Every structure is written in C-alpha cells, then in structure tokens.
C-alpha cells in the first residue's frame, strides 16, 4: 500500500505525524462521516457528498489507487477520491483525463494547509499513473495555489456553464492540452442523489440527525 509519512510542526510547536494512505474497507464509514461533517450546510442545507463517495467506490470510473485518506497522529482528518473523466473535443475525439472530489477535511482542521497537502500529494500520484490533466469545479483561491487555472483559458468549456470562472483545469503533463478544445461534463456518478433520491434518504437515515440550515453563500 502506498503511503506518505512525515513529521509536521504546527503553530503550537508540537510534533505531529501525518500519514497519507489508500483507503481500506475498514475506513469506509469513518470516511463517509468525515465528509458529511466537512460539507454539512456548506453548499446547501445538509449535504450529499458523503453519499457520492459511498457510491463512487462501485462506479466503473473509480480509481482505487487514488482513493486516499490523511491521518494526523492516527486520527482521520482528510480524504480525496479520484475518478476517470473526459473532454469531449470539438473534433469528435474523447480525451481521457481525471477529476477528484470531494476533498473532505475535518472541520476542526480546515484552513491549516492540510487540504492543499493532500491535494498536492494526490496529484503527484495521478501524474505517476499517467493522467495528463485534472478538471474540477471549485474556488480558484484554493485550487490556484496548486496550479489550477480557469479551464476556459485552455479552450475547455464546462457543459453547464461555458463561461464559468469556477470550472478549473490543471495540466499534469506540460502541453497536454495543446491543440485541444472541447466540452467537459461532470461524471455521471456525481448525480447519484438526483437519480436515486429515495436511496439517498435511506442512506442518510443511518447517520445521527443534524439540522439543515439555509446559510448565506450557499449555492442552493
């Protein structure tokens, strides 16, 4: 099993061991709960990201080698999962790339650099596996620190919003996107809650109840 282990000195000057490794079946429930806590009431009242990753593991596009968790002194604090995707090129080709997400960080560890550390490590692994580029919808203020740019500047358009500034892309291989123009759609697995709302509700009922709140800044 691939993993990264090293010491980190935080602002409190205490030594902490960080491990990044592949998720195992024994981790599934804890990871899903972490993602639920991380995204609850962030983009919408409640969240569904934990159900997305629950279902992604059996999706044909799932990349198990890039299903990673981060531990801090053996405490689970972060998670990222990759799936295969593609650019539908204007000339009729389908160019394979990858996407990822959600990147879930435990609420008490957000904005401390752990998300970027996990992202950067996972991108190196994706590059080693031959991925030429990564696409994601997200905040350029975060992803820009890891080299992402608005995809429209690379002639790749988001299917739902061709002029979107929040649709981002990063070349893992220099020049990979040269000569490519086309459209990107989110993988079908991302919409599992829309396709199976009753199954999602059954799944959600297995977690402790949490209050759904409508908050400023949410997308829906």
User: At 57, is the secondary structure helix, strand, or coil?
Assistant: coil
CB 32 within 8 A of CB 54: yes
Question: For residue 7, what pLDDT band results from cuts at 50, 70 and 90?
Answer: low
State the Cα–Cα distance between residues 170 and 136, nearest whole angstrom.
9
Count how many Cα atoms sit within 13 Å of the Cα of residue 209 in the half-sphere of its side chain: 1
| Average pLDDT, integer, range 97-102 | 92
Please determine, for residue 8, whether its predicted confidence score (pLDDT) is greater than 60: no
* CATH among 3.40.630.30, 3.40.50.740, 3.40.50.150, 3.40.50.620 for 3-204: 3.40.630.30
List residues bridging with 9 in a β-sheet.
15
Residue-wise pLDDT tens digits, 164-207: 999 999 999 999 999 999 999 999 999 999 999 999 999 999 99
pTM: 0.91
> Given this model, what pLDDT does residue 219 score?
82
CB 180 within 8 A of CB 95: yes
* Closest-CA residue to 88 (of 199, 8, 162): 162
| Average pLDDT, integer, range 200-219 | 94
Domain spans of the chain, in order of start:
3-204
């Amino acid at each position: 099993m691939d993993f990264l282990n090293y010491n980190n000195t935080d602002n409190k000057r205490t030594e902490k061991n960080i491990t990044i490794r592949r998720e195992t079946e024994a981790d599934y429930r804890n990871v899903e709960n972490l993602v639920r806590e991380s995204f609850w009431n962030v983009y919408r009242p409640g969240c569904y990201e934990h159900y997305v990753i629950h279902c992604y593991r059996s999706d044909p596009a799932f990349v198990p080698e890039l299903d990673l968790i981060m531990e801090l002194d053996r405490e689970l604090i972060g998670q990222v999962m990759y799936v295969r995707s593609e650019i539908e090129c204007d000339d009729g080709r389908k160019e394979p790339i990858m996407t990822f997400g959600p990147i879930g960080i435990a609420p008490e560890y957000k904005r401390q650099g752990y998300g970027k550390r996990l992202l950067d490590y996972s991108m190196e692994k994706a590059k080693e596996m031959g991925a030429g580029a990564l696409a994601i919808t997200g905040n350029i203020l975060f992803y820009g620190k890891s080299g992402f740019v608005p995809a429209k500047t690379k002639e790749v358009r988001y299917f739902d919003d061709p002029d979107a500034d929040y649709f981002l892309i990063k070349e893992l291989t220099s020049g990979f996107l040269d000569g490519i123009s086309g459209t990107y759609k989110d993988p079908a697995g991302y919409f599992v809650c829309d396709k199976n709302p009753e199954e999602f509700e059954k799944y959600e009922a297995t977690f402790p109840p949490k209050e759904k709140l409508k908050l400023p800044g949410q997308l829906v």
